[in-house]
Amino acid sequence: MPANGGSHIDGARRRLLTAMLLSPLAWGPAFWGAQAWCATDASATDKGATDPAATAGSGQAKSYKRIIALEWLPVELLFALGVTPLAVAGSQDYRLWVREPVLPASIVDVGQRTEPNFELIADLQPDLILYSQGYGPRPEQLRAIAPAMGFGFTDERGRPLATARAGLLALARRLDRMPAAQAHLAAFDRELAEAGSRLASYRRQPLLMFSLMDDRHALIIGGTSLFGQVMDQLAIANVWQGENNFWGTAVVGIERLATLPLARAICLDHGDAALTSRVAATPLWQAIPFVRRKMLRTVPAIWIYGATLSALRFCRMLQQVEEQW
């Protein structure tokens, strides 16, 4: 369903359905099998896709100039390597849920991420199609058009950050951009190391990261999520110690927030001011400890299913919020 679904669906239900569609939650291991999102350096190379031109002739890598990315994680990987895709899927939703890196106006939109326009994709004559494993079209559908390469978000041990690094290196090898990947990862490691000292105040109290899904539900970011792993590296305690799904998040009733220990709290906002106002007006919300103690901050959305660029935005957001606390 598009993010701007039909007017016959009420706003709360539309938001919940949209959130579930946009996230991997609706397309998890129960649908594709647990290994669908197992993301190692080897799986990211997508051994099932053959591209003789990539190894023929002088042994140099093929030049990929027309790349289409059908999911936002590989879009982020491309930008980390300094590569702008020819086309992406879901560009309108990307600008709401991901925001940065900003998509240039010249990028072609090829439809929804779950149901892209295959005819348009074929007409664009791509050199390479990038997708997220276990999400959207089947790989064999894509390989019928052009060579394809898949990427995972996390692995069976819950390590999305390590998975993102492996995926970036695999893509860099495919595109012959290894120096760019190494430079990016070195800069990433430096910024995380420097953030550790800048964010020392967060170590005095646990932190809760969440996003409102509708009037009754919140999506909590747990320890095995991308941001949870970053918090671990920064020695910031995550107040959420409850259950997590495969992607390190948990959907809970808003009443569950009132049972958590007192903590700083950050809510990722997706531009729904009406929802925020409705929830904030309820007695339940006003009774939550971090609300009563004015320890809640609301910030623009950062893509929680992203890679290293999203992790860096998360670090920078924490610093900005720390200056306001």
Q: Please report, in tens digits, the pLDDT of each residue of the chain (325 residues total).
A: 333 333 333 444 444 445 444 555 444 433 333 333 333 333 454 433 334 444 333 344 578 999 999 999 999 999 999 999 999 999 999 988 898 999 999 999 999 999 999 999 999 999 999 999 988 999 999 999 999 999 999 988 889 999 999 999 999 999 999 999 999 999 999 999 999 989 999 999 999 999 999 999 999 999 999 999 999 999 999 999 998 998 899 999 999 999 999 999 999 998 889 999 999 999 999 999 999 999 999 999 899 999 999 999 999 999 999 888 7
Measure CA 171 to chain center: 17
**Which of 279, 277, 270, 266 shows the shortest CA–CA distance to 325?**
266
pLDDT at 26: 46
Query: Counting beta carbons within 10 angstroms of the beta carbon of residue 216, is it exposed (0 to 12), middle (13 to 18) or buried (19 or more)?
Result: middle
At residue 72, the pLDDT reads 96
Distance CA(199)–CA(197), nearest Å, equals 5
Q: Rounded to an integer, what distance in angstroms lies between the CA atom of residue 211 and that of residue 189?
A: 27
Joined together, the tokens standing for residue 212 give 């409102």
For residue 296, the surrounding DSSP H or E stretch is strand 296-300
Residue 197 burial (CB count, 10 A): 8
Neighbours of 84 (CB within 10 A): 15
pLDDT of residue 246: 87
